[in-house]
Chains A and B, each alone.
Chain A
Amino acid sequence: MIKIRDTFLLLLLGLVLTACAAETTSEIVPEDVAVEPTSEPVLAATLLPRPEPLVDNCLECHTDKEQLVALATESEDAHGSESEGVG
């Protein structure tokens, strides 16, 4: 008699656990919720300074007075030298 009762209780416990487990699963993953694809943050790529190369050719030249004296030339004056009088 005890064996039959224990067997019945075990079956009942199994049924309850199975029902609870199924209900929990359906709450966690609702079928009608779409999952947004993840995207890379654009802002950081736009605003952060670009990595400097090991040798910065811009700075190497533009901080070297002797090199600039040798290379820099006068740009053409937009108003030319023919203007006369108060501008």
Chain B
Amino acid sequence: MAPLEPWEKVFIKADAFLATAHGEMACAYCHGGQQSPDMETAHAGMIADPSAAGRGNACATCHGDQSEHFAKSLHTSLAGYWTTLDARSGVEKHPELETMFGNHCSSCHTTCGDCHISQPGSVGGGFIDGHIINKTPSMTRNCTACHGSRVGNEYLGKNEGFPGDVHFRQGRMNCISCHTGAEMHDSNASCSQCHDTSQVMYQSTHRYSGAQSPSCESCHDQVGKAGDAVIQHVLHAEKLSCQVCHSVSYMSCDGCHVAISEKTGNPFFKTESSYMSFFIGRNPIQNYHRPYEYVVLRHVPVAQTSYEYYGENLLSNFDALPTWTYATPHNIQRKTPQTASCNACHGNPDIFLTEDKVNPEELQANQPVIVPEVPPAYGNP
């Protein structure tokens, strides 16, 4: 995705935009500011992103339902970061971590405009289509602009030597083919309207603990059921996540550290290494909706010293969570090295996360996912 020129970022396509419903509204209705031929005067008090938090979200005036739910979504709250930060730190470490979070993480926060009008600020911003408000976000200029280095590259086949996801290569499906507007706006979150949420099956404390949304079975609804012609589906149903057999190598990263530049005062990060790998491990979050014994694992770039710029030993409970985490790589293939034969997996230590493949400093943290013994091979393959 080529970066936009400064003028392109703020150029309004007059004819096209003014013909839309939003084009009938005065600019100041959403953006404030004041009428003046002088740029500085006109921009005084102007709100560049009226949908940003703390600005009253101008979109909510008309799109109240979506805005109300979206305010609680992970795209807005970034609560997923705090789930892991809370677990790996202690309450007393919060002030330092909140400063770190504000400097380095909150720029990933998403507004209505980041998906429907502009490229996200984290990739430089700028109007996608001359300020036309798109109901459907662009896959490459919105979704993978943020979710690019792992999910985007895997799905689109940008990792050298590895094909893109079959749903993209053959089906030309884009993100919203599976991840619907209701999911993005978190409109599915109101389970309690119909269900008794005190039951464990409806409790969701992690993005992978609630109902799978989307799930492969939403489309492939006969897989693993009586009459499925693929015997491996029936044999492995509920023991393996779909990705164990149908994904290929994906990106993992190690050792991300954050700091503030002494030269510019800007926040920056440095990641020690990134590499393609494929490892099957034990499921660290077995639950009603994910009963699998084995899943695929991706190494997340956290290290015990990731935030040391902000204080000593901020991740004092580092071993509380695995650094090899439950993953859903977006590079699904019908045929993979694992599906070649039974013993492509059974008895093959290369594709299981065994103790010898884990950084010694992270052994304790990864005990819940390390495979103690590779499933034995079958007699003669």
Residues of chain A touching chain B, judged by Cβ–Cβ distance below 8 Å, are 46-47, 49-53, 56-63, 65, 68-69, 71-80, 82-87
Kindly identify, within residues 245 to 285 of chain B, every residue whose CB is under 8 Å from any CB belonging to chain A: 251, 253, 256, 261, 263-264, 266-274
Residues of A within 8 A of B9 (CB): 72
> Given that A78-B107, A78-B121 are known contacts, is A57 also in contact with B261, CB under 8 Å in the complex?
no
- Let me know if B107 and A84 touch, CB within 8 A: no
Residues of chain B touching chain A, judged by Cβ–Cβ distance below 8 Å, are 5-7, 9-14, 18, 24-29, 31, 33, 35-37, 39, 42, 61-62, 107, 121-122, 124-125, 131, 149-150, 251, 253, 256, 261, 263-264, 266-274, 301
- Let me know if A68 and B271 touch, CB within 8 A: no
Total A-B Cβ pairs within 8 A: 109
Main secondary structure of the interface of A (DSSP, over half): loop
- Let me know if B268 and A80 touch, CB within 8 A: yes
- Let me know if A85 and B6 touch, CB within 8 A: no
**How many Å from the CB of B263 to the closest CB on chain A?**
8
**How many Å from the CB of B45 to the closest CB on chain A?**
13
- Let me know if B42 and A68 touch, CB within 8 A: no
Give the distance in Å from the alpha carbon of A69 to the alpha carbon of B4 in the complex. Answer: 12
- Let me know if B274 and A85 touch, CB within 8 A: yes
Chain A's closest residue to B14 (CB) is A63
Chain B's closest residue to A73 (CB) is B6
- Let me know if B14 and A56 touch, CB within 8 A: no
Give the distance in Å from the alpha carbon of A65 to the alpha carbon of B29 in the complex. Answer: 23
CB-based closest 3 A-B pairs:
A85-B271, A80-B266, A68-B7
> Given that A57-B35, A59-B27, A83-B269 are known contacts, is A72 also in contact with B42, CB under 8 Å in the complex?
no
Give the distance in Å from the alpha carbon of A39 to the alpha carbon of B52 in the complex. Answer: 33
**How many Å from the CB of A48 to the closest CB on chain B?**
9
Give the distance in Å from the alpha carbon of A17 to the alpha carbon of B259 in the complex. Answer: 96
- Let me know if B25 and A87 touch, CB within 8 A: no
